[in-house]
Amino acid sequence: MTSVLLSVLFQLVQLALVLAVAPLLTGCVRFAKARLLGRSGADPLQPYRTLLRLFRKEAVVAHGTSWLFRAAPYAVFTLIWLAAGLVPTFSTQLVLAPAADLIALVALLGSARFFTILAGMDAGTAFGGIGASREAMIATLAEPAMLMVIFTLAILLQTTSLAGIVETILGQGVGLRISLALGLVSLLMVAIAEAGRIPIDNPSTHLELTMVHEAMVLEYSGRHLALMELAGMLRLLLFMALIACVFCPWGIARAGDGPLVWLLGLVTFFGKMMVAVAALAVFETSIAKMRVFRIGEFLGGALLLGLLASIFLFVSTGFKG
């Protein structure tokens, strides 16, 4: 009984934690990038201020948009928040863990994207359409690629549950495998695409023809925009947390661990996130955005890597029978 209560508690903490940390993470990435580019950069806490201001502003809605346009930010935000709440950050003891495994997680992200795209198409502007159509194309490749990575993990670790994956890696260990390396690369590529980072999409661009995600949320303002932005930040966090949790789970508290380990988990989580921020900032400053139609090749590569990862798995485990 206590374990159930505990897992409810952890779940609530986790939900609050990701919500609280996400803007900071984005702020840190922006800050780091600015520093790497030699600019002084905005305060890492700036995203909080921006969001607050947006929430206080009046929302302007385009003529001819429907209820879907107004409902979408809530749906998108909720779905991503929920998804982010499912990825173990500091403890695997999450009450919702059994309700949605990795596949469901991908699908939740997919649902969020579904509504984002619909919202982009609702106003009936050319830019909304551009963003929607490109996002749809990216998604059709990124999702299968991510699923392939998941398949690899699932076969290797005998589970698709995130908590289970962490437990297995921490419990019995898997050792270094070429499949895992391939899967990591593939997942990184997917994460870049899914979170809308360079070279797939530039989150800070407002150059009309290069926008993807920005184009879809172009018509949003006020609280709607705030929700959409926050959702974007959560997504970035989610992917960082996901990669950390799967490929570097050390530090995450498991069932039966005491409060000290929980605290340790929190600290290591922050540490991992900062490493990820730094890595992302370095990567983004060192690479240019690619043409839209090359995205297909990029993500197709990710998909193939994912498949290759699962096939290599057979090769390496094959001799063990």
Q: Which of residues 232-261 bind another protein (CB under 8 A)?
A: none
Given the complex with another protein, which of 31 and 312 has the nearer CB atom? Answer: 312
Residues 125-154 interacting with another protein (rule: CB under 8 A)? 125-130, 132-134, 136-137, 139-144, 147-148, 151, 154
Is 201 or 276 the residue whose CB approaches another protein more closely?
A: 201
- Nearest approach in angstroms of CB 98 to another protein is 4
Q: Which two tokens stand for residue 279?
A: 């890595």
Q: What long-range pairs does 272-280 form, CB within 8 A, spacing at least 24?
A: 272/240, 272/244, 272/248, 273/21, 273/25, 273/237, 273/240, 273/241, 273/244, 274/28, 276/240, 276/243, 276/244, 277/25, 277/28, 277/29, 277/32, 277/240, 278/32, 280/29, 280/197, 280/240
| 111 part of the interface to another protein, by CB under 8 A | yes
Q: Which of 13, 62, 181, 261 binds another protein (CB under 8 A)?
A: 62
One of 29, 93, 101, 284 touching another protein (CB under 8 A): 101
3-class SS of residue 93: coil
**Contacts (CB under 8 A) with another protein, residues 291-310:** 292-293, 296, 300, 303, 306-307, 310
Min separation Cβ 237 and another protein, Å: 16
User: Minimum Å distance from CB 40 to another protein?
Assistant: 29
Q: Which is nearer to another protein, 150 or 188 (CB)?
A: 150
**Nearer Cβ to another protein, position 268 or 310?**
310
Residues 160-189 that bind another protein (CB under 8 A): 160-161, 163-164
**Cβ nearer to another protein, comparing 3 with 66:** 66
For residue 276, the minimal CB distance to another protein (Å) is 25
Q: Which of 195, 201, 253, 209 is nearest to 14 (CA)?
A: 253
d(CA 105, CA 79) in angstroms, rounded, equals 10
Q: Which of 8, 36, 61, 170 binds another protein (CB under 8 A)?
A: 61
Q: Using CB under 8 A, which residues numbered 72 to 91 contact another protein?
A: 74-75, 77-79, 81-82
In the numeric block, which tokens belong to residue 138? 């990216």
- Judged by CB under 8 A, the residue of 18, 32, 121, 200 near another protein is 121
By CB under 8 A, name the one of 3, 9, 20, 208 that touches another protein: 208
CB nearer to another protein: pick between 29 and 138: 138
* Residue 131 CA: distances (Å) to CA of 43, 142, 213: 29, 16, 6
What is the CB neighbour count within 10 angstroms for residue 99?
10
Task: Give residues with Cβ within 8 angstroms of 103, minimum separation 6.
Answer: 147, 150, 160
Q: In angstroms, what CA-CA distances link 195 with 69, 75, 135, 231, 248?
A: 21, 17, 11, 10, 20
Minimum CB–partner distance for residue 94 and another protein (Å): 11
Q: Please give the Cα distance from 319 to 315 (Å, whole number).
A: 7
